Protein backbone atom coordinates (compact mmCIF):
# COMPACT_ATOMS: atom_id res chain seq x y z
CA UNK A 1 0.00 0.00 0.00
CA UNK A 2 1.51 3.30 -1.15
CA UNK A 3 -0.21 6.49 0.01
CA UNK A 4 0.57 10.02 -1.14
CA UNK A 5 -0.28 12.82 1.28
CA UNK A 6 -0.42 16.16 -0.55
CA UNK A 7 0.28 19.47 1.17
CA UNK A 8 1.29 18.15 4.57
CA UNK A 9 2.98 21.56 4.64
CA UNK A 10 1.99 24.45 2.42
CA UNK A 11 4.34 25.63 -0.32
CA UNK A 12 5.29 28.64 1.81
CA UNK A 13 5.94 26.51 4.90
CA UNK A 14 8.04 24.06 2.91
CA UNK A 15 10.09 26.93 1.47
CA UNK A 16 10.90 28.27 4.95
CA UNK A 17 11.89 24.80 6.18
CA UNK A 18 14.06 24.20 3.10
CA UNK A 19 15.90 27.50 3.58
CA UNK A 20 16.58 26.61 7.23
CA UNK A 21 17.95 23.23 6.21
CA UNK A 22 20.10 24.70 3.43
CA UNK A 23 22.06 26.62 6.09
CA UNK A 24 22.65 23.54 8.28
CA UNK A 25 25.86 21.56 8.68
CA UNK A 26 25.43 18.18 6.99
CA UNK A 27 27.35 14.95 7.64
CA UNK A 28 27.94 11.79 5.63
CA UNK A 29 24.63 9.91 5.28
CA UNK A 30 26.32 6.59 5.99
CA UNK A 31 26.13 7.51 9.69
CA UNK A 32 22.68 5.91 9.95
CA UNK A 33 23.06 3.21 7.30
CA UNK A 34 23.28 -0.50 8.02
CA UNK A 35 26.20 -2.56 6.72
CA UNK A 36 24.56 -3.56 3.44
CA UNK A 37 22.76 -0.27 2.69
CA UNK A 38 25.93 1.66 3.52
CA UNK A 39 27.52 0.12 0.42
CA UNK A 40 25.00 1.86 -1.87
CA UNK A 41 24.34 5.07 0.10
CA UNK A 42 25.84 8.36 -1.04
CA UNK A 43 24.17 11.43 0.44
CA UNK A 44 24.32 13.84 3.36
CA UNK A 45 22.08 14.21 6.40
CA UNK A 46 21.68 16.10 9.64
CA UNK A 47 23.05 14.39 12.74
CA UNK A 48 20.28 12.59 14.65
CA UNK A 49 20.65 14.94 17.62
CA UNK A 50 20.85 18.17 15.58
CA UNK A 51 18.70 20.89 17.29
CA UNK A 52 17.16 22.03 14.00
CA UNK A 53 16.36 18.45 13.05
CA UNK A 54 14.70 17.86 16.43
CA UNK A 55 12.64 21.04 16.09
CA UNK A 56 11.50 20.37 12.53
CA UNK A 57 10.94 16.69 13.28
CA UNK A 58 8.53 17.59 16.07
CA UNK A 59 6.65 19.87 13.67
CA UNK A 60 6.32 17.00 11.20
CA UNK A 61 4.96 14.65 13.86
CA UNK A 62 2.50 17.27 15.10
CA UNK A 63 1.28 17.82 11.54
CA UNK A 64 0.95 14.08 10.87
CA UNK A 65 -1.09 13.37 13.98
CA UNK A 66 -3.75 15.82 12.80
CA UNK A 67 -3.81 14.40 9.26
CA UNK A 68 -6.74 12.02 8.78
CA UNK A 69 -5.20 10.23 5.78
CA UNK A 70 -2.00 9.46 7.67
CA UNK A 71 -3.76 8.35 10.83
CA UNK A 72 -6.15 6.05 8.94
CA UNK A 73 -3.47 4.55 6.70
CA UNK A 74 -0.64 4.18 9.23
CA UNK A 75 -2.52 3.49 12.48
CA UNK A 76 0.67 4.69 14.23
CA UNK A 77 1.85 3.25 17.51
CA UNK A 78 5.33 4.84 17.43
CA UNK A 79 6.94 7.35 15.08
CA UNK A 80 10.73 7.43 14.76
CA UNK A 81 12.04 11.01 15.20
CA UNK A 82 12.26 12.35 11.63
CA UNK A 83 15.68 12.58 10.00
CA UNK A 84 16.70 14.88 7.14
CA UNK A 85 18.83 14.24 4.06
CA UNK A 86 20.27 16.07 1.09
CA UNK A 87 21.22 14.75 -2.34
CA UNK A 88 23.24 16.82 -4.87
CA UNK A 89 26.15 16.46 -7.27
CA UNK A 90 25.22 12.96 -8.45
CA UNK A 91 24.52 11.57 -4.96
CA UNK A 92 22.10 8.63 -4.78
CA UNK A 93 20.98 5.69 -2.66
CA UNK A 94 20.89 2.33 -4.42
CA UNK A 95 18.29 -0.37 -3.94
CA UNK A 96 17.91 -1.46 -0.32
CA UNK A 97 15.40 -2.50 2.33
CA UNK A 98 15.35 -0.50 5.56
CA UNK A 99 16.51 -2.09 8.82
CA UNK A 100 13.63 -3.86 10.57
CA UNK A 101 14.29 -2.27 13.97
CA UNK A 102 15.61 1.26 14.58
CA UNK A 103 16.90 2.35 18.02
CA UNK A 104 16.08 5.94 18.95
CA UNK A 105 19.35 7.66 19.78
CA UNK A 106 19.80 8.60 23.43
CA UNK A 107 16.89 6.46 24.63
CA UNK A 108 15.99 2.82 25.29
CA UNK A 109 13.21 3.12 22.69
CA UNK A 110 13.15 0.99 19.56
CA UNK A 111 10.82 1.33 16.57
CA UNK A 112 9.79 -1.53 14.27
CA UNK A 113 9.82 -0.11 10.74
CA UNK A 114 6.43 -1.28 9.47
CA UNK A 115 6.12 1.84 7.31
CA UNK A 116 8.58 4.25 5.73
CA UNK A 117 7.84 7.89 4.99
CA UNK A 118 9.46 10.66 2.96
CA UNK A 119 8.45 14.32 3.17
CA UNK A 120 9.72 16.39 0.24
CA UNK A 121 10.94 19.97 0.83
CA UNK A 122 12.49 20.79 -2.57
CA UNK A 123 10.25 21.67 -5.50
CA UNK A 124 10.47 18.91 -8.14
CA UNK A 125 11.47 21.32 -10.92
CA UNK A 126 14.41 22.65 -8.85
CA UNK A 127 16.47 19.46 -9.26
CA UNK A 128 16.99 16.73 -11.85
CA UNK A 129 16.74 13.08 -10.89
CA UNK A 130 16.20 12.24 -7.23
CA UNK A 131 13.07 10.14 -7.76
CA UNK A 132 12.17 7.79 -4.92
CA UNK A 133 11.77 4.45 -6.72
CA UNK A 134 9.68 1.86 -4.88
CA UNK A 135 9.18 -1.77 -5.87
CA UNK A 136 5.81 -3.03 -4.64
CA UNK A 137 3.13 -5.56 -5.61
CA UNK A 138 1.92 -3.21 -8.35
CA UNK A 139 5.35 -2.91 -9.97
CA UNK A 140 7.87 -0.06 -9.93
CA UNK A 141 6.69 3.35 -8.80
CA UNK A 142 8.69 6.58 -9.19
CA UNK A 143 7.79 9.28 -6.67
CA UNK A 144 8.81 12.93 -6.94
CA UNK A 145 6.30 15.11 -5.12
CA UNK A 146 5.71 18.82 -4.64
CA UNK A 147 7.47 20.50 -1.73
CA UNK A 148 5.47 19.91 1.45
CA UNK A 149 3.93 16.64 0.25
CA UNK A 150 4.72 13.17 1.59
CA UNK A 151 4.58 9.51 0.64
CA UNK A 152 3.94 6.55 2.96
CA UNK A 153 4.89 3.01 1.93
CA UNK A 154 5.59 -0.42 3.47
CA UNK A 155 8.95 -0.78 5.20
CA UNK A 156 9.45 -4.16 3.52
CA UNK A 157 9.61 -2.49 0.09
CA UNK A 158 12.77 -2.55 -1.99
CA UNK A 159 13.49 1.09 -2.85
CA UNK A 160 16.15 3.55 -3.98
CA UNK A 161 16.76 7.24 -4.70
CA UNK A 162 17.95 8.04 -8.22
CA UNK A 163 21.07 10.22 -8.64
CA UNK A 164 20.47 13.97 -8.36
CA UNK A 165 22.36 15.33 -11.34
CA UNK A 166 21.46 19.02 -10.99
CA UNK A 167 20.19 21.10 -8.08
CA UNK A 168 19.57 19.65 -4.63
CA UNK A 169 16.92 17.41 -3.13
CA UNK A 170 16.15 18.03 0.55
CA UNK A 171 13.69 15.83 2.39
CA UNK A 172 12.81 14.18 5.68
CA UNK A 173 12.68 10.42 6.11
CA UNK A 174 11.58 8.24 9.00
CA UNK A 175 9.64 5.15 10.02
CA UNK A 176 6.40 4.23 11.74
CA UNK A 177 5.57 1.26 13.93
CA UNK A 178 1.90 0.54 13.28
CA UNK A 179 -0.71 -0.94 15.58
CA UNK A 180 -1.23 -3.39 12.70
CA UNK A 181 2.08 -4.74 11.42
CA UNK A 182 0.76 -6.60 8.32
CA UNK A 183 0.42 -4.33 5.27
CA UNK A 184 -2.49 -6.26 3.71
CA UNK A 185 -4.48 -5.94 6.96
CA UNK A 186 -3.79 -2.21 7.16
CA UNK A 187 -4.93 -1.88 3.55
CA UNK A 188 -8.24 -3.62 4.28
CA UNK A 189 -8.85 -1.45 7.32
CA UNK A 190 -8.14 1.68 5.28
CA UNK A 191 -10.53 0.54 2.54
CA UNK A 192 -13.24 -0.10 5.09
CA UNK A 193 -12.63 3.21 6.86
CA UNK A 194 -12.82 5.14 3.58
CA UNK A 195 -16.06 3.33 2.63
CA UNK A 196 -17.59 4.14 6.03
CA UNK A 197 -16.64 7.81 5.71
CA UNK A 198 -18.12 7.96 2.18
CA UNK A 199 -21.35 6.34 3.32
CA UNK A 200 -21.52 8.68 6.31
CA UNK A 201 -21.15 11.66 3.95
CA UNK A 202 -23.53 10.46 1.24
CA UNK A 203 -26.17 8.77 3.38
CA UNK A 204 -25.95 9.98 6.97
CA UNK A 205 -27.91 7.84 9.38
CA UNK A 206 -27.81 4.78 7.10
CA UNK A 207 -28.60 1.62 9.05
CA UNK A 208 -25.44 -0.11 7.80
CA UNK A 209 -23.12 2.48 9.35
CA UNK A 210 -23.30 1.04 12.86
CA UNK A 211 -22.70 -2.49 11.57
CA UNK A 212 -19.77 -1.50 9.34
CA UNK A 213 -18.18 0.55 12.11
CA UNK A 214 -18.48 -2.45 14.40
CA UNK A 215 -16.80 -4.67 11.81
CA UNK A 216 -13.95 -2.14 11.50
CA UNK A 217 -13.31 -2.10 15.23
CA UNK A 218 -13.60 -5.86 15.57
CA UNK A 219 -10.99 -6.33 12.83
CA UNK A 220 -8.76 -3.73 14.47
CA UNK A 221 -9.18 -5.53 17.79
CA UNK A 222 -8.25 -8.82 16.13
CA UNK A 223 -5.16 -7.49 14.33
CA UNK A 224 -3.83 -4.78 16.64
CA UNK A 225 -0.46 -5.43 18.27
CA UNK A 226 -0.54 -3.52 21.58
- Same domain flag for 79 and 52: yes
Q: How big is the chain, counted in residues?
A: 226
> Do 205 and 135 belong together in one domain?
no
Mean pLDDT of 170-175: 98
Residues 35 and 138 in one domain: yes
Closest CA to 127 of 162, 91, 86, 167: 167
Query: In terms of pTM, does the model score above 0.85?
Result: yes
pLDDT-based confidence at residue 90 (cuts at 50, 70, 90): very high
96 assigned binding-site residue: yes
- Whether residue 159 is annotated as binding a ligand: the answer is yes
What is the model's pLDDT at position 214?
96
CB 171 within 8 A of CB 163: no
Q: In the predicted model, is pLDDT for residue 36 greater than 70?
A: no
172 has which bridge partners? 84, 119
CA atoms within a 13 Å half-sphere pointing along the CA-CB vector of 82: 23
pLDDT for 35: 63
Of residues 175 and 38, the one with the higher pLDDT is 175
CATH value at residue 54: 2.60.120.620
Contacts of 121 (CB under 8 A, 6+ apart): 14, 17, 18, 21, 147, 148, 170, 171, 172
The response to whether 221 counts as a known ligand-binding position is no
Residue 88 reports pLDDT greater than 80: yes
Residue 34: its pLDDT value, please?
63
Amino acid sequence: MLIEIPELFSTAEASVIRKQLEQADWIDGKATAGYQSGKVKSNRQLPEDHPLGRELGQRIIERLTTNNVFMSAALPQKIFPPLFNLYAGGESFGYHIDNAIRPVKGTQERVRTDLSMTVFFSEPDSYEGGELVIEDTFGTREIKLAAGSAVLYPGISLHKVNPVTQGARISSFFWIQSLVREDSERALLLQLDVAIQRLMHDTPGHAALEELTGIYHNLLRKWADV
